[in-house]
Amino acid sequence: MSSREEILARLRLATGDVTSRPGERGPVPVSAATAGAAQDTLELFVKTVTDYRASVGRCTPEQVGAEVAAALVRARAHTVLVPPGLETSWVARARDAGLRLRADEAEDGGPLTAHELDGIDAVVTGARVAVATTGTIVLDHAPDQGRRALTLVPDQHVCVVRADQVVHDVPDAVALLDPARPLTWVSGPSATSDIELDRVEGVHGPRTLDVIVVC
Amino acid sequence: MTDLPAQETSPTFLGMPSFQHAAEAALADTQQRRNLAHATATIRAKRAAAVGEVDGWEDLRLAGAAAKDEALHHLPHYLEQLEAALTARGATVHWARDADEANQVVVDLARAKATDEVVKVKSMATQEIELNEALEAAGIAAWETDLAELIVQLGEDRPSHILVPAIHRNRAEIREIFARRMGAVGRAAPDDLTDEPARLAEAARLHLREKFLRARVAVTGANFAVAETGTLVVVESEGNGRMCLTLPETLITVVGIEKVLPTFADLSTMLQLLPRSSTGERMNPYTSMWTGVTPGDGPQEVHVVLLDNGRSRVLADEAGREALRCIRCSACLNVCPVYERTGGHAYGSVYPGPIGAVLNPLLRGTSSEVDRSLPYASSLCGACFEACPVRIDIPSLLVRLRTQVVDEASGRSAEAASMKAAAWVFGDHRRLEAAQRAATLGGRLLGDRTIRSLPGLGAWTQARDVPTPPTETFRQWWARTHGDDEGDLDDARGQPVVEEQDLGGAGPHTRQEGS
Ligand code: SF4
């Protein structure tokens, strides 16, 4: 008997007492905090993100470029990664300020290697959805966010979130996501508390997370 | 019971003394007790605050238990669905009856990639099967990349907590380990390394980064595997998980078969329950979800090893199967008065604390001394059930296992006879409380560290030292002090994760000022 068949046989034997059929628990019970007004959800998001020691800025659509440039300068970034589908006006001011913009493209036309990514200071992206109760942004790595490695290896991540992308609770976000895409949920910068529970930011992921909310 | 095979007690733990004897040494280690007391109190307070924020917490617990029960009751159905979904998305599925088979799959895959090293994400399943040792025997180095696991690995130590495996080590010890050992296996620690946590984390970042950037094969566990979609989920905080899941060419995920969730929507329940229960965070810093292979993004060769290793045996135990709901949040460890004093090593397993006390004898059977003793590694105070996000009734399971251990013992020895009396006392909470009250009184009169008899236990205690019970029972103490328990927020930066990772990076959000 193959391992597969043997394990399945053991499990059928083990669950021989079960009389219900798969799925009979009924619709999946989903429990979520109820949203108030959209404005309350937005305020809550800003508060929870701030609690994570991420920096949060709010601006109008016209101000995004200036906010992005300011965040990059604050973290002393020199080279900035720009995903292929990013709104170009968001990084135009950064270029004017003298920062070097890089596409995810190596000399040979392929994507950047991990070592090349390691030499880049920051990345600017959009997001798929954001969660107010937890201060989380979710990336689905669409062209405005780039493949997963882009938001991982550089030391600063500047993420632009539209106000209409902010949902109230975790189930609202799960309902919007496509499981066929790779998904990364980010709540604050990389952190550890493994040493005497003292919190230290930035172990392997970006040490600085700037969230810019556009409303 | 069916005659399904038990998991073998690992060679590492086979020679373990009983919990009670192992605990004796742990109790004498004042440094460890101080570290543990601080850590568990801190995480407890954070968890209480994070759970307190959620209005429908009890509904969430019920939904969490229902999702896991649905999967467990129909496990063959959901595993086949998971396999089909994964295969359709370009992943390769392997099945492993036991540790040896799972290890062989991973060794063969690594060999096929002609590599002599793999990077690893903290994973209890791979610790359970002792994968690192198997890889090493095959000439392949397995680098642990979670900071705490790195500390444990470099210190040639064993993890002592599900979430914060190096919780028993303080900063000076960690500095010493890094300075002494990093250079031997990769980039050395800087000469001027201090014991500041930020400096230590920086040393780990640099040491591990060179390993991440060159790694071609990664091994990880998973917190959840969604049958409906084939989605695997890793919950963590440092980003080492993301590094391993993203940069290498080949990704091998070892998943206990009990990790299955029926639907993608079930993740909305679990992602609310797990971080709050585990690190006391609203959400852990990073959660990764991937479904098979994504062209142009991440590993292009994806393998999933579905591991039984005793789980079918636990499932066959109608009463015991609820232990398989466990999502390895470690909340039960942090509220356990026995764990807080003995630490994780005394449990003789990668699964310590209250859940370990039930899961190990269920998984491995009760033929070894340590597994027979584990059901007694508890005060039966009930705090673990209260804390458990998926409502596992650990105290009832412990009582049942005690009865089983006693029943299995022959009636020949005096000890076996008194164990029956012990089972009688422990078998009913009123009898237990009466015994505790009497023992408390005895302790007050005795004023001595050791008592020689416990009402109802008779000769059993003559064979062992039983610490003098405190002047009040744990239940009484809890009732009296529970309100104050949240006062320790000053240090509330605790971070711990989860079965397969480090929900590691506890956020500061329980503190309003967020400093
Ligand atoms: S048994 Fe313990 S570790 Fe497992 S889910 Fe419950 S509280 Fe968490």
Q: Express each pLDDT in B139-151 by its tens digit.
A: 999 999 988 889 9
User: Ligand 1 pocket test: which of B62, B333, B355 has the largest number of ligand atoms within 8 Å of its C-beta?
Assistant: B355
Amino acid occupying residue B408 = E
Is there a contact between B318 and A17 if contact means CB atoms under 8 Å apart?
yes
B506 CB within 8 Å of a chain A CB? yes
Q: Are B231 and B260 in contact (CB under 8 A)?
A: no
Interatomic CA distance for residues B282 and A197, integer angstroms: 17
- Residue tagged 């392929």 (tokens): A110
Q: Check residue B31 and give its pLDDT.
A: 72
Q: Check residue B474 and give its pLDDT.
A: 55
B96 CB within 8 Å of a chain A CB? yes
Q: Check residue A202 and give its pLDDT.
A: 77
Is there a contact between A204 and B288 if contact means CB atoms under 8 Å apart?
no
Residue B332, both tokens: 């039960």
Q: Tell whether ligand 1 has an atom less than 6 A from the beta carbon of residue B387.
A: yes
Measured in angstroms, the CA of A205 and the nearest CA of chain B are apart by: 5
The closest alpha carbon to B293, from B257, B255, B253, belongs to B253
Is there a contact between A18 and B74 if contact means CB atoms under 8 Å apart?
yes
Amino acid occupying residue B30 = T
Q: Check residue B480 and give its pLDDT.
A: 64
Cβ partners under 8 Å of residue B223, min gap 6: B233, B234, B235, B259, B270, B274, B327, B328, B498, B499, B500, B501
Most confident of B166-170, B193-197, B420-424: B193-197
B295 CB within 8 Å of a chain A CB? no
DSSP string, A138-205: EE---TTT-SGGGGTSSSEEEEEEEGGGEESSHHHHHHH--TTS-EEEE-SS-EE-TTTT--EE-SSS
Q: Tell whether ligand 1 has an atom less than 6 A from the beta carbon of residue B328.
A: yes
Q: Check residue B165 and give its pLDDT.
A: 76
Contacts of B266 in chain A (CB under 8 A): 28
Q: Are B227 and B85 in contact (CB under 8 A)?
A: yes
> Among the atoms of ligand 1, which is closest to the Cα of residue B387?
7
Partner-chain residue, chosen from A10, A23, A195, that has the shortest CB–CB distance to B4: A10
Instruction: Compute the mean pLDDT over every residue in chain B, rounded to the nearest whole number.
Output: 80
Burial of B412 (0-12, 13-18, 19+ CB in 10 A): exposed
Interface of B with A in 240-269 (CB under 8 A): 240, 242-243, 245-247, 257, 262-269
The closest alpha carbon to B162, from B366, B332, B368, belongs to B332
Q: Check residue B3 and give its pLDDT.
A: 55
**Host H or E run for residue B12:** helix B11-14
Reported as a pLDDT band with limits 50, 70 and 90, residue B438 is very low
A55 CB within 8 Å of a chain B CB? no
Question: With 50 as the cut, is the pLDDT of residue B418 above it?
Answer: no
Q: What is the whole-number distance in angstroms between the Cα of residue B22 and the centre of ligand 1?
A: 23
Interatomic CA distance for residues B474 and B480, integer angstroms: 10
A126 CB within 8 Å of a chain B CB? no
Cβ partners under 8 Å of residue B410, min gap 6: B416
Which residue's alpha carbon is at the smallest distance from atom 4 of ligand 1?
A: B326
User: Ligand 1 pocket test: which of B162, B328, B335 has the largest number of ligand atoms within 8 Å of its C-beta?
Assistant: B328
- How far is C-alpha B195 from the chain's CA centre? 27
What ipTM is given for this predicted complex? 0.96
B343 CB within 8 Å of a chain A CB? no
Interatomic CA distance for residues A169 and A183, integer angstroms: 17
Q: Check residue B403 and give its pLDDT.
A: 86
> Among the atoms of ligand 1, which is closest to the Cα of residue B394?
1
Q: Check residue A30 and give its pLDDT.
A: 87
Q: In this predicted structure, which of A62-66, B127-131, B275-279, B464-468 has the lowest mean pLDDT?
A: B464-468
Contacts of B287 in chain A (CB under 8 A): 183-185
Q: In the A/B pair of chains, how many CB contacts fall below 8 A?
A: 305
Interface test with A, best of B271, B501, B511 (most A CBs within 10 A): B271
- For B224, the 3-state DSSP assignment is strand
User: Ligand 1 pocket test: which of B51, B235, B269, B329 has the largest number of ligand atoms within 8 Å of its C-beta?
Assistant: B329
Identify the closest residue of chain A to B203 by CA–CA distance. A203
DSSP string, B335-393: T-HHHHHH-SGGG-SSS-HHHHHHHHHHHH-S-SHHHHHGGGS----SHHHHH-TT---
> What is the per-residue burial (b if ≥16 Cβ within 10 Å, else e) of B138-169?
eebebbbbbbbbbbbbbbebbbbbbbbbbbbb
- Residue tagged 């995920």 (tokens): B253
Identify the closest residue of chain A to B199 by CA–CA distance. A200
The closest alpha carbon to B129, from B93, B94, B110, B104, belongs to B104
Measured in angstroms, the CA of B181 and the nearest CA of chain A are apart by: 17
Q: Tell whether ligand 1 has an atom less than 6 A from the beta carbon of residue B503.
A: no
Positive or negative, the CA dihedral B358, B492, A71, A37 is positive
Contacts of B62 in chain A (CB under 8 A): 29
Q: Check residue B282 and give its pLDDT.
A: 95
Q: How confident is the prediction along chain A (215 residues), in pLDDT tens digits per residue?
A: 899 999 999 999 999 999 999 999 988 888 888 888 888 999 999 999 999 989 999 999 999 999 999 999 999 999 999 999 999 999 999 999 999 999 999 999 999 999 999 999 999 999 999 999 999 999 999 999 999 999 999 999 999 999 999 999 999 999 999 999 999 999 998 888 778 878 888 789 999 999 999 99
Q: Check residue B26 and give its pLDDT.
A: 67
Q: Check residue B476 and give its pLDDT.
A: 59
Q: Tell whether ligand 1 has an atom less than 6 A from the beta carbon of residue B331.
A: yes
- Residue tagged 């009890």 (tokens): B58
Q: Check residue B310 and give its pLDDT.
A: 95
Reported as a pLDDT band with limits 50, 70 and 90, residue B157 is confident
What pTM was estimated for this model as a whole?
A: 0.84
Measured in angstroms, the CA of B52 and the nearest CA of chain A are apart by: 13
Q: Residue A118: how many CB atoms within 10 A of its CB?
A: 15
Measured in angstroms, the CA of B508 and the nearest CA of chain A are apart by: 6
Question: With 90 as the cut, is the pLDDT of residue B408 above it?
Answer: no
The closest alpha carbon to B280, from B14, B40, B50, B26, belongs to B50
**Host H or E run for residue A82:** strand A79-82
